[in-house]
């Protein structure tokens, strides 16, 4: 953890220097690629020692595939090799290290690199191996028309801005950033002239970086004060279970889940700030004419904490992983896209049994929540008091449902998970099944594909 923080803080300083002294107007694309790659490799070795060899082995294996495999199969071979290697590393953590989280846990960077490898392979397949009319609008926009050079490939996968904590980004966005076209490209996408600008603006990320660093600092303080004092393991402590009534256990479950979040808020927000400091992450202009730097944001804390539905909660948590799952699996699956996306999400996270308890429980609660919303919500929209009451109740239920669902994700093993569910009387499982049995299935007033996409998003949890 100390190495992680030290690397990210040094990466933040390097990112500012990179944006000022190695900007596209001061340095060539090759120099920017080389600097980003070399510093990324250094950070990986510093943080993970000899374990970093796993990152480099996977990167080079897939570079060989990208250059030797036929275009119709490049995305398949890349996917199998990347996910296979990642899964072997996940297995080693259980059967070799006996559920231990290594002091130099390299699985996080390996998971991000796996996302990037499969993303690039799919987008390369779209750009060279498919006709434009076969692609969706998003696939056409992100399609890669030529195989990247070795330097471009290494820079995309190993750059110092994302090697430690991500997030995954699209290859075309990254190359546009390195070549100095990133901001202009995003402004064109949002028709910047219609936002009141008469000439091409030059947005600065400084304000966004400072804000995200403030969020990072608050998250760090909360982590140091709350996370250590409210461990998830205490909720299955025998003495606690014997002396604490059910409703109090529910309340404590909410507290310990809240206490577990600052770690993720800290890591993801700091990673976002590092990318922004380098000048990467600009996403355009909002309806008020404000520059946005959330292209790589991985979460929306306000929407998470105020979510009144399971769907809203998940859509704002680990956003870039949700986008990756959609682009490499859901949009390409020939059949059962929702089920296959659930499976991929689980495999990507690892093979700890607790992860699968979380995903299976999440499926059940997602279906029940959708049934309640489709059958009942319209009755509460006729007046403001009813709508407020509905929002309050759904907020409470959503927050407790999320806590109930993610507890096994933290506990990891089977025994503590079963003990936890027994202490909770399996109440969310039982209520969800009753809802599905009692309420009719009503289709949403949208296209068939979109509800499936929403179900896919509800499958995603973060490490």
Report the b/e string of 65-95 with b at 16+ CB within 10 A: bbeebeeeebbebbbebbbebbeebbeebbe
Cross-strand bridge partners of residue 284: 292
DSSP 8-state assignment for residue 392: H
In the block, residue with structure tokens 């953890």: 1
In the structure encoding, which two tokens stand for residue 211, read together?
A: 């804000």
At how many degrees (to 10) do helices 171-179 and 182-189 cross?
Answer: 120
DSSP state of 148: P
CB 311 within 8 A of CB 457: yes
Is 170 assigned a catalytic role? Answer: no
Q: What is the DSSP code (8-state) at residue 109?
A: H
At residue 317, φ and ψ (nearest 5 deg) are: -120, 125
CA distances from 2 to 16, 162, 222, 369 (A): 22, 17, 17, 40
Catalytic site residue 318? yes
From the candidates 75, 276, 349, 453, which is the catalytic residue? 349
How far is it, in rounded angstroms, from Cα 272 to Cα 267? 9
Cα angle: 79, vertex 42, 462; to 5 degrees: 45
* Contact of 66 with 78, CB cutoff 8 Å: yes
Residues 107 and 55 sit within 8 Å (Cβ to Cβ) = no
CB 123 within 8 A of CB 172: yes
Backbone angles phi, psi at 331, to 5 degrees: -75, -10
Task: Spell out the residues 6+ positions from residue 82 whose beta carbon is closer than 8 angstroms to its own.
Answer: 58, 62, 113, 114, 117, 118
Q: Kindly report whether the peptide bond that precedes residue 403 is cis, defined as omega within 30 degrees of 0.
A: no
Count of other CB atoms within 10 angstroms of residue 452: 16
Instruction: Determine the Cα–Cα distance for residues 421 and 166; give it in Å rounded to an integer.
Output: 33
CA distance linking residue 158 with residue 19, whole number of Å: 18
Catalytic residue among 275, 318, 453, 458: 318
- Taken as a whole, the chain contains a residue count of 463
Q: Which of 291, 293, 292 is CA-nearest to residue 196?
A: 291
User: Which residues are identified as catalytic?
Assistant: 318, 349
């Amino acid at each position: 953890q100390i190495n992680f923080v030290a690397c990210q803080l040094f990466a933040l300083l390097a990112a500012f220097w990179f944006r000022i002294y190695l900007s596209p107007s001061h340095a060539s694309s090759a120099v920017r690629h080389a600097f980003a790659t070399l510093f990324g490799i250094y950070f990986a070795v510093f943080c993970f020692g000899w374990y970093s060899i796993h990152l480099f082995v996977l990167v080079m294996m897939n570079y060989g595939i990208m250059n030797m495999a036929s275009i119709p199969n490049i995305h398949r071979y890349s996917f199998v090799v990347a996910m296979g290697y990642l899964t072997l590393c996940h297995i080693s953590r259980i059967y070799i290290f006996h559920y231990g989280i290594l002091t130099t846990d390299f699985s996080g960077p390996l998971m991000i690199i796996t996302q990037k490898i499969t993303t690039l392979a799919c987008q390369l397949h779209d750009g060279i191996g498919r006709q434009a009319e076969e692609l969706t609008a998003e696939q056409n926009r992100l399609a890669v028309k030529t195989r990247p050079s070795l330097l471009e490939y290494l820079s995309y996968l190993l750059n110092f801005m994302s090697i430690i904590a991500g997030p995954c980004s699209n290859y075309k966005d990254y190359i546009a950033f390195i070549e100095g076209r990133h901001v202009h490209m995003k402004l064109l996408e949002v028709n910047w002239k219609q936002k009141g600008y008469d000439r091409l603006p030059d947005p600065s990320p400084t304000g966004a970086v400072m804000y995200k660093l403030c969020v990072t600092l608050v998250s760090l303080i909360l982590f140091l004060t709350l996370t250590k004092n409210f461990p998830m393991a205490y909720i299955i402590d025998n003495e606690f279970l014997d002396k604490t009534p059910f409703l109090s256990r529910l309340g404590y479950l909410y507290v310990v889940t809240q206490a577990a979040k600052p770690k993720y808020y800290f890591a993801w927000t700091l990673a976002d700030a590092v990318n922004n400091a380098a000048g990467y992450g600009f996403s355009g202009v909002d309806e008020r004419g404000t520059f946005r730097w959330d292209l790589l944001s991985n979460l929306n804390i306000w929407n998470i904490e105020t979510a009144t539905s399971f769907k809203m909660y998940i859509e704002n948590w680990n956003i870039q992983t949700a986008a990756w799952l959609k682009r490499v699996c859901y949009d390409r699956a020939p059949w059962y896209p929702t089920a296959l996306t659930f499976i991929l999400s689980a495999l990507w996270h690892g093979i700890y049994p607790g992860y699968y308890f979380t995903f299976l429980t999440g499926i059940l609660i997602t279906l029940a929540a959708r049934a309640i919303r489709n059958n009942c919500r319209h009755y509460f929209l006729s007046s403001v008091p009813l709508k407020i009451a509905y929002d309050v109740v759904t907020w409470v239920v959503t927050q407790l449902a999320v806590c109930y669902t993610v507890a096994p994700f933290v506990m990891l093993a089977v025994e503590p998970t079963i003990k936890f569910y027994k202490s909770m009387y399996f109440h969310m499982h039982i209520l969800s099944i009753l809802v599905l049995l009692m309420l009719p299935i009503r289709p949403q007033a949208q296209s068939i594909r979109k509800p499936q996409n929403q179900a896919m998003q509800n499958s995603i949890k973060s490490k």
